[in-house]
Amino acid sequence: MSNCIFCKIAAGEIPANKLYEDDDMVAFHDIHPKAPVHFLLIPKQHVDSLAHCDASHQQMLGKLLLKAPQLAAEQGLSDGFKTAINTGVGGGQEVFHLHLHVLGNK
């Protein structure tokens, strides 16, 4: 998606404070953190939201979810952390590229 800000971050076309990257996903710190640690995990492949996922996204979704606790631990969230996926306008989604919020150390 040429006009998607998270696709541009995934492609390295606009800067972000990345904490993890592999062939399938990128994690970067939220530009307006709502907790002392607040990062976003996104698939490199564009998909608008969780509501736009189907069986073809199953592996990507699993990888995204399993990466969250690893990165949370690396960020020092030993007590635990909060995850959120806002979906659709009614769910408070503002950027329409699927992303998992990870927050901690409140």
Is residue 99 annotated as part of the catalytic site, yes or no? yes
Closest CB 46 distance from ligand 5GP, rounded Å: 14
Interacting partner of 31 out of Zn ion, ligand 5GP, none (Cβ under 5 to 8 A depending on kind): ligand 5GP
Closest by Cα among 8, 7, 10, 98 to 53: 98
> Do residues 46 and 7 lie in contact, with contact meaning Cβ atoms separated by under 8 Å?
yes
- The dihedral through the CA atoms of 22, 3, 5, 95 has a sign that is negative
Interacting partner of 61 out of Zn ion, ligand 5GP, none (Cβ under 5 to 8 A depending on kind): none
Check residue 81 for interaction with ligand 5GP (CB under 6 A). no
Which residues of the shown chain bind Zn ion in the complex (CB under 5 A)? 1, 4, 6-7, 46, 97
Residues in the chain: 106
Interacting partner of 54 out of ligand 5GP, Zn ion, none (Cβ under 5 to 8 A depending on kind): none
Instruction: Give me the half-sphere count of Cα atoms (radius 13 Å) on the Cβ side of residue 3.
Output: 0
Closest by Cα among 71, 99, 104 to 85: 99
Query: Which C-beta is closer to ligand 5GP: that of 55 or that of 87?
Result: 87
Where on the chain is the footprint of ligand 5GP (CB under 6 A)? Answer: 5, 16, 28, 30-32, 40, 86, 92-95
